[in-house]
Structure 1
Amino acid sequence: MSRKVFLSFLGANNYKECVYTTEGKESRVVKYVQNAVIDLLASDFDVYYIFCTEKAYDTHFASLQAESNKKLDVVQIPEGFSESEIWTIFSSVFDKLEVGDEILYDITHSFRSLPMLGITLLQYAKFLKDIRVRGIYYGVFETLGPSYDIDNRFPDPKDRKVPLLNLTAFSLIQDWTIAANNFIKFGNAQMMGELTKEGLTPILSESKGKHMEAATLNGLSIQLQTFAEEHRTNRGRRIIEGKAANKAVEYIDNIQTYSLIPPFFPIVNYVKSTLQQYSDNSIKNIFFAIQWCIEKELPQQGFTQLQEGIITILCDKVGLDYTMESNRNLVSSYLSVRFFKPEEEWKGELIQETYKPYVHLLNEIDKIKDLASVYDSISKKRNDINHGGFTESAKHFSFMNDLKKYFHEFKQILNLEY
């Protein structure tokens, strides 16, 4: 079972008593923000780590522990005045984390480079220890004004109301950036689905529409996962229908009307830019899919989509329903046999009386022999990669180059601009 872990750094400054507030709740009067965060947000946690230098420990730790309602675990760290000491601090924190930990991180008294180090460390630990960030908080004590004047302005500590800022979105935006990159660069939308399942509160507004906004983001992640899997598994009909891409674009357009945190919009717009070329029920989508496979370096899917795409567009050109297997068999046989075997060796749909008019129409297509030659080369590559390299001897690095080459040749032959 995963642990709930509180992390905080303790400085050596002269702290004053005040009341911390967050999400409509107020802490008791405390001198140390750590105790306010624990009381308000982490009262049921399993362990509370306080990282502090020797000076901070001598100055404050006993007082901090006395004020706290929890047993605090102190971890002494160096001052962080050198690169070596900074990496020592990094390791000290990382070593305290266990696989699957849920982390709440208070950065209020993190000094110098520690806030940046802490955010980076959490991202690092997400990858290596599969941690979850439940919250990142900062007590904005400076809202009370200059420290030297606080006692005069607010003689009663109960009147010193200090907001605790929720900065968890900074960590979540990092996750969404990585997830968007995975989708754009590798065609994988799994991480987006995981993020919506884990919770979206930090990036949602404080408006009454939170439920609708969360539903929209969840809908977007589902459509992106559907889109990606349709391409990874060569679902040609679905790709031509274009539903997943267009629904995802609709969700993104709806998101633009919400009051999400500003950095989120460029991320989803970047995703949108790769989807908006797809149309409803358009054969052109199959060629956008081939380009997608090329960009994501998915040669097996790319060769399949290219070969089946040629069959599809030729069926469409001569007026055949490209979803019927027999029609596809005709075009495939035509491209594989018409220019490579004598007519007496033809068989199947190619010699059926009902298909003779379509064979004639195929003959009339400009540069059809050149296209058949390209189709033959594509077939050999597709067979090679699908048979695991046991039947042919192509080098692994040749597939992507050949996919790009044959796709370019195909478009030139049929004078396609997409």
Structure 2
Amino acid sequence: MILLSFIGTGKYELTSYTWQDQKYETEYVIDAIAHFFKVKEIKVFTTKEATKAHGEQLKNKINDKFELSYIEIPSGTKEEDLWELFDKVVESVPENSEIIFDITHAFRSIPVIVLLASAFLQKARNVNIKGVYYGQYNKEKNESPIFDLTPAIKLLDWLTATDTFINTGSSQKLGQLLADIQIDFFKSGKAKKEEIKPNKLRNFGSAIATISENIEFIRPVELLESAQKLKRMSGKEIREEVGIFAKPFELIIDKIEQDYAQFAIEKSAESDYQLIIKKHYLLIKWYVEKGLGTQAILLSREWLVTTLAILENTNYLDKDDRKNIENQLNAISGNNPERIKLYEQEISKHVNDIKQLDDTWSQLGRNRNNIAHCQMNAEQFSSKILHQYAQKLPQTLADLFPQLDLIS
């Protein structure tokens, strides 16, 4: 593990630094943190003046206990200095490494830039930020506590996860963050000391992650069940835990519950098959709103079969019943008057315009095949055309079955 630290030109006095139940006497908080967290390497960001003031003394203090190196940085007063500092951090942190920060003696905006650069490396080079620490020197008591500021760096993870949810509807990252809070709490031993414990965050995180997976992999049947499960879990208790242990999630929990609640369905309502039609339709709208055209097109093709199967009072999940609906749709397709007449008394009675049904089914089939076969066919459509087609699907499907009142 690598310790990234800072040093200034000030005078550092001997004190007893404390971390949990440990103590370590030294003039340099760098030395104490390296000792407490058993790092293998220390990299100190320093100016020429700071190196002159403390370079040799700190090196002697470390006394070959750790691999120590100094990284000279600018003072950070100009924009060019900020990018130079960014480069210094990038060059100093190896791929797949674990790092901790000591920001005790950082100055001006430099610690912010270093933390943001390291957070970038966390995503781009799989760097694991294990902790951020600050030593509060106390001359009067001669005992200086070290504070854990690691939760602050987690704000960047919350930002990324929230942005992902807002733009794509995926809450898997948010779910994992909630689970990690509960897991880390009990692993750290805090459960023995703290009266209030996070007992529901992990299950809540798992619930929203499951919904997200069902949405991503177009599993509307399981989605209705998982959304209802989340609805049962929501309430005062989970909000109290979020308020104590996951403050950033407090800002997004209402939106998540509202967005996912639209897919929930009570067990007692499962016999209302037209409600299932509407719930699956809402998922198509969700995909379109989030720009997920592939999922919208694939589900729309199945939704058309499902809707006609339900209107025909057959089992919409039964393979043979679905095949029967598909055969009728294929028979209508092609503007063959004899075939249209043949099936006029069956599925065609559920629509006002057979030609419109034919066109919708044909276009869904072509676009679905173009996606599913990954352009490995003679008929090609540009991604722009597919996107534009997906955008119109909610209205197209609603117009096909006006009696279902899907738009309201």
Q: For 1:295-306, list aligned pairs within 5 A.
A: 295-306=289-300
Instruction: Determine the structure 1 residue equivalent to 2:149.
Output: 167
Instruction: Determine the structure 2 residue equivalent to 1:290.
Output: 284
Partner residue of 1:122 out of 115, 118, 125:
118
Please state how far the C-alpha of 1:194 moved relative to its aligned partner.
6.0
Residue aligned with 1:6, SS: strand
Please say if residues 300 and 386 of structure 1, whose CA atoms lie closer than 8 Å, have aligned partners that are also in contact. no
How many Å separate the matches in 2 of 1:306 and 1:313?
Answer: 10
Residue aligned with 2:60, SS: helix
Instruction: Determine the structure 1 residue equivalent to 2:58.
Output: 64
Corresponding letter in the other structure for 1:10: I
Corresponding letter in the other structure for 1:407: P
How many Å separate the matches in 2 of 1:385 and 1:333?
Answer: 22
Please say if residues 3 and 41 of structure 2, whose CA atoms lie closer than 8 Å, have aligned partners that are also in contact. yes
Please say if residues 378 and 406 of structure 1, whose CA atoms lie closer than 8 Å, have aligned partners that are also in contact. no
Instruction: Determine the structure 2 residue equivalent to 1:400.
Output: 387
Instruction: Determine the structure 2 residue equivalent to 1:265.
Output: 250
Residue aligned with 1:20, SS: strand
Q: Return closer, same or farther for 1:248/1:138 CA change in 2, 3 Å cut-off.
A: farther
Q: Return closer, same or farther for 1:168/1:49 CA change in 2, 3 Å cut-off.
A: same
Q: Return closer, same or farther for 1:338/1:81 CA change in 2, 3 Å cut-off.
A: closer
Residue aligned with 1:136, SS: strand
Residue aligned with 2:307, SS: helix
TM-score (norm: length of structure 1):
0.80
Please say if residues 106 and 138 of structure 1, whose CA atoms lie closer than 8 Å, have aligned partners that are also in contact. yes
Instruction: Determine the structure 2 residue equivalent to 1:107.
Output: 103
Q: Does 1:31 align with 2:27?
A: yes
How many Å separate the matches in 1 of 2:78 and 2:172?
Answer: 39
CA RMSD of aligned residues (A): 3.1
Please say if residues 104 and 133 of structure 2, whose CA atoms lie closer than 8 Å, have aligned partners that are also in contact. yes
Please state how far the C-alpha of 1:325 moved relative to its aligned partner.
1.9
Residue aligned with 2:101, SS: strand
How many Å separate the matches in 2 of 1:61 and 1:249?
Answer: 59
Q: For 1:214-363, list aligned pairs within 5 A.
A: 216-217=201-202, 219-239=203-223, 242-250=224-232, 253=235, 254-258=237-241, 259-280=244-265, 281=270, 282-283=275-276, 284-338=278-332, 340-343=335-338, 359-360=345-346, 362-363=348-349
Q: Which runs of 5+ in 2 are unaligned?
A: none
Please say if residues 184 and 274 of structure 1, whose CA atoms lie closer than 8 Å, have aligned partners that are also in contact. no
Q: Return closer, same or farther for 1:138/1:103 CA change in 2, 3 Å cut-off.
A: same
How many Å separate the matches in 2 of 1:325 and 1:52?
Answer: 69
How many Å separate the matches in 2 of 1:54 and 1:252?
Answer: 56
Q: Return closer, same or farther for 1:66/1:210 CA change in 2, 3 Å cut-off.
A: farther
How many Å separate the matches in 1 of 2:93 and 2:75?
Answer: 21
Percent of pairs identical after alignment? 23
How many Å separate the matches in 1 of 2:172 and 2:163?
Answer: 12
Instruction: Determine the structure 1 residue equivalent to 2:71.
Output: 75
Residue aligned with 1:84, SS: helix
Q: Return closer, same or farther for 1:344/1:123 CA change in 2, 3 Å cut-off.
A: closer
Q: Does 1:21 align with 2:18?
A: yes
How many Å separate the matches in 1 of 2:44 and 2:152?
Answer: 22
Residue aligned with 1:275, SS: helix
Please state how far the C-alpha of 1:382 moved relative to its aligned partner.
1.6
Q: Return closer, same or farther for 1:192/1:106 CA change in 2, 3 Å cut-off.
A: same
Q: Return closer, same or farther for 1:361/1:367 CA change in 2, 3 Å cut-off.
A: same
TM-score (norm: length of structure 2):
0.82
How many Å separate the matches in 1 of 2:392 and 2:119?
Answer: 40
Q: Return closer, same or farther for 1:223/1:346 CA change in 2, 3 Å cut-off.
A: farther
Q: Return closer, same or farther for 1:53/1:400 CA change in 2, 3 Å cut-off.
A: same
Q: Which runs of 5+ in 1 are unaligned?
A: 145-149, 351-355
Please state how far the C-alpha of 1:363 moved relative to its aligned partner.
0.9
Residue aligned with 1:138, SS: strand
Residue aligned with 1:110, SS: coil
Please state how far the C-alpha of 1:362 moved relative to its aligned partner.
4.8
What CA deviation, in whole Å up to 9, does each residue of 1:177-230 have, x standing for no partner? 2123224423555545665686664899984454625xx33x344434433333
Q: Return closer, same or farther for 1:7/1:289 CA change in 2, 3 Å cut-off.
A: same
Q: Return closer, same or farther for 1:173/1:273 CA change in 2, 3 Å cut-off.
A: farther
Corresponding letter in the other structure for 2:10: N
Q: Return closer, same or farther for 1:278/1:343 CA change in 2, 3 Å cut-off.
A: same
What CA deviation, in whole Å up to 9, does each residue of 1:115-141 have, x standing for no partner? 211221111111222100100112234
Please say if residues 107 and 138 of structure 1, whose CA atoms lie closer than 8 Å, have aligned partners that are also in contact. yes
What CA deviation, in whole Å up to 9, does each residue of 1:33-78 have, x standing for no partner? 21222222x22x2211112111111212333333446333222223
Q: Return closer, same or farther for 1:89/1:61 CA change in 2, 3 Å cut-off.
A: same
